[in-house]
């Protein structure tokens, strides 16, 4: 919570309000992923109650991703036009209401309930679209360049931590009180979180507890402290084409799509792989599936710390960001070794190493904060997240096709491993030098012909 320091008291000492800000981003992002985890956990009793076959349940699962992707560009434009605090806060409130309404929809007749829940999942994906572009925008404002990697890694690790935190909680609630109660719990939790959000989040220049020393430290270190006072770029096809003409940004977008492919493999097909290809019991799969999430969370935070450490040690921004990304993706390719492993514990070891590498190299949001044109941070983050999350649509389908066609997961693991390699390709020859884009004085070498 924000403390009631007077202006003279806060200015007289070095404050560290930015740490509270990134903690708030982590909590909000964990809740956003918790909403996605809840449906995967409560999906089986929900399907049983509503007599849903796997295809109809699959439609409900997919609703979030389609709308989430479509909402990215409008969300980025809204963030740049109306500011992160307002747009992000309204997003938390709306997705909390959607979660609670999913529980109430369970009282409707089955055919109507299916349509209602599908619509609510579409709406939930749409209203949550500002979350990660908002995270990148707030980090760009509140953190100097040398601390941005760690800050971005902290909020990005929420995708792993949410599984560890919410899976057992939602599972317990659904088991003891029914699946409807798990969504009511999420709704109440989100509304409480929104109250905290509006009390904690401000821009750098108007925060009641930030001192002048911290404000100057952020500004002098490259933080965009006046980002909410800049005139935001209107969402137009011309502004999108401007971003897509920049070679460095295009390389970053491609890299994020490749990295997100790894995420969706672990979120969707990894448990099936353990059960069907490695013949683990469902109980064992439930335990083992948490281990990569823990490794990914550790790797995610460590990747940001290492990147910022390299930057403080005097290495260039390009070197400091690319070293964790490239080394992390090389580790992620270790999953291909599972095709040659026979013991279950060896498979688990290789997968844990691969997910650690995925987390270690997931610095895309850091790079977005480093490179976005001033006045277009939200829009660029939205385009970045849109392209990255296309993997949530393509990855489950491609892997399903490979497994159905070959009757094996071997080629599927090769596909995911090669995608990690393509992330390396995108960040090395395509991205080139990492620097903030200035469209007023574009560098010819950074433009796509």
| Helices 131-142, 84-105: crossing angle, 10 deg rounding | 150
Residues 128 and 32: their CA atoms lie apart, in Å, by 7
Which one, of 399, 403, 258, lies nearest residue 333 by Cα? Answer: 258
Q: Which residue has the higher pLDDT, 309 or 6?
A: 309
Report yes or no on 219 lying in a domain: no
Pair 189, 326 in one domain? no
User: Could you tell me the CA-to-CA distances from 46 to 32, 97, 181, 350, 423 in Å, in that order?
Assistant: 20, 19, 11, 34, 37
Report yes or no on 218 lying in a domain: no
List the beta bridge partners of residue 352.
none
Res 3 pLDDT > 50: no
- The band of 413, judged by pLDDT with boundaries at 50, 70 and 90, is very high
Pair 123, 272 in one domain? no
Q: Which segment, 9-23, 34-48, 227-241, 382-396, is predicted with the most confidence on average?
A: 382-396
Pair 292, 433 in one domain? yes
Res 422 pLDDT > 50: yes
The helix/strand/coil state of 126 is helix
CA angle, residues 163, 335, 423, in degrees to nearest 5: 85
pLDDT of the residue at 27: 92
Across the range 420-434, mean pLDDT stands at 93
- The band of 334, judged by pLDDT with boundaries at 50, 70 and 90, is very high
Average pLDDT, the chain: 81
CATH number of the structural domain spanning residue 35: 1.20.1250.20
Res 82 pLDDT > 60: yes
Pair 150, 275 in one domain? no
Pair 345, 274 in one domain? yes
Across the range 147-155, mean pLDDT stands at 80
The least confident of 114-128, 154-168, 383-397 is 154-168
pLDDT of the residue at 275: 73
Domain count for the chain, please give it: 2
Q: Which residue has the higher pLDDT, 359 or 161?
A: 359
For the question of whether the overall pTM of this predicted structure is more than 0.85, the answer is: no
Report yes or no on 53 lying in a domain: yes
CA angle, residues 204, 210, 212, in degrees to nearest 5: 90
Report yes or no on 226 lying in a domain: no
Res 102 pLDDT > 50: yes
Res 258 pLDDT > 90: yes
Pair 268, 179 in one domain? no
Res 431 pLDDT > 50: yes
Report yes or no on 6 lying in a domain: no
Helix H, strand E, coil C: the string for 73-94 is HHHHHHHHHHCHHHHHHHHHHH
Q: What percent of the chain has pLDDT over 90?
A: 25
Report yes or no on 164 lying in a domain: yes
Across the range 310-316, mean pLDDT stands at 89
The least confident of 98-102, 269-273, 319-323, 419-423 is 269-273
Burial pattern 192-220, b for ≥16 Cβ within 10 A else e, equals ebbeebeebbbbbeebebbbeebbebbbe
Pair 250, 147 in one domain? no
Report yes or no on 220 lying in a domain: no
The helix/strand/coil state of 361 is coil
Pair 165, 303 in one domain? no
Pair 152, 252 in one domain? no
pLDDT of the residue at 329: 95
Q: Choose the final residue of a domain: 168, 191, 207.
A: 207
Res 234 pLDDT > 80: no
The least confident of 187-201, 215-229, 253-267, 279-293 is 279-293
Pair 257, 201 in one domain? no
Residues 252/430, Cβ–Cβ less than 8 Å:
no
Q: Which residue has the higher pLDDT, 70 or 413?
A: 413
Q: Which residue has the higher pLDDT, 445 or 122?
A: 122
pLDDT of the residue at 225: 66
Pair 185, 305 in one domain? no
Q: What percent of the chain has pLDDT over 70?
A: 87
The least confident of 192-201, 234-243, 337-346, 420-429 is 234-243
> What tens digit of pLDDT does each residue of 29-49 get?
999 888 877 777 776 677 777
The helix/strand/coil state of 215 is helix
Residues 171 and 178: their CA atoms lie apart, in Å, by 9
Alpha helical stretches, state H, 13-157 = 17-50, 54-70, 72-82, 84-105, 110-127, 131-142, 145-156
Across the range 271-293, mean pLDDT stands at 73
pLDDT of the residue at 447: 37
Q: Which domain holds residue 191?
A: 12-207
Q: Which segment, 50-64, 75-89, 286-300, is predicted with the most confidence on average?
A: 75-89
Pair 423, 332 in one domain? yes
Report yes or no on 7 lying in a domain: no
């Amino acid at each position: 919570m924000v403390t009631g320091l007077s202006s003279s008291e806060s200015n007289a000492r070095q404050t560290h309000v930015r740490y509270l800000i990134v903690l708030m981003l982590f909590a909000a992002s964990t809740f956003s992923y918790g909403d996605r985890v809840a449906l995967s956990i409560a999906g089986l009793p929900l399907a049983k109650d509503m007599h849903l076959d796997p295809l109809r349940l699959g439609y409900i699962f997919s609703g979030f991703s389609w709308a989430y992707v479509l909402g990215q560009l409008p969300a980025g434009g809204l963030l740049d036009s109306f500011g992160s605090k307002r747009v992000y806060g309204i997003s938390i409130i709306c997705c909390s209401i959607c979660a609670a309404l999913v529980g109430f929809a369970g009282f409707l007749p089955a055919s109507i309930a299916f349509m209602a829940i599908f619509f609510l999942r579409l709406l939930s994906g749409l209203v949550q679209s500002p979350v990660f572009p908002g995270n990148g925008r707030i980090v760009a404002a509140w953190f100097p360049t040398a601390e941005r990697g760690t800050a971005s890694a902290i909020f990005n690790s929420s995708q792993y931590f949410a599984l560890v935190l919410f899976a057992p909680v939602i599972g317990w609630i659904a088991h003891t009180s029914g699946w409807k109660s798990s969504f009511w719990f999420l709704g109440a939790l989100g509304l409480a979180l929104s109250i905290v959000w509006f009390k904690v989040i401000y821009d750098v220049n108007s925060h009641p507890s930030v001192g002048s020393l911290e404000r100057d430290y952020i500004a002098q270190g490259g933080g965009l402290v006046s980002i909410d006072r800049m005139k935001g770029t209107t969402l137009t096809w011309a502004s999108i084409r401007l971003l897509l003409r920049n070679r460095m940004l295009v390389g970053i977008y491609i890299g994020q799509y490749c990295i997100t492919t790894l995420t969706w493999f672990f979120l969707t097909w990894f448990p099936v792989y353990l059960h069907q290809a490695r013949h683990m019991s469902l109980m064992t799969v439930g335990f083992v599936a948490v281990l990569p999430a823990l490794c990914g969370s550790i790797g995610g935070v460590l990747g940001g710390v290492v990147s910022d450490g390299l930057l403080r040690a005097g290495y260039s921004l390009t070197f400091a960001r690319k070293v964790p990304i490239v080394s992390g993706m090389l580790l992620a390719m270790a999953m291909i070794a599972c095709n040659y492993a026979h013991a279950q514990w060896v498979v688990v070891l290789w997968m844990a190493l691969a997910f650690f590498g995925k987390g270690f190299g997931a610095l895309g949001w850091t790079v977005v904060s480093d490179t976005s044109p001033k006045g277009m941070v939200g829009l660029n983050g939205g385009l970045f997240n849109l392209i990255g999350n296309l993997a949530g649509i393509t990855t489950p389908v491609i892997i399903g096709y490979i497994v159905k066609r070959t009757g094996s997961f071997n080629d599927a693991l090769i596909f995911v491993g090669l995608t990690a390699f393509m992330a390396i390709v995108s960040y090395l020859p395509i991205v080139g030098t990492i620097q903030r884009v200035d469209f007023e004085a574009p560098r010819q070498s950074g433009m796509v012909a």
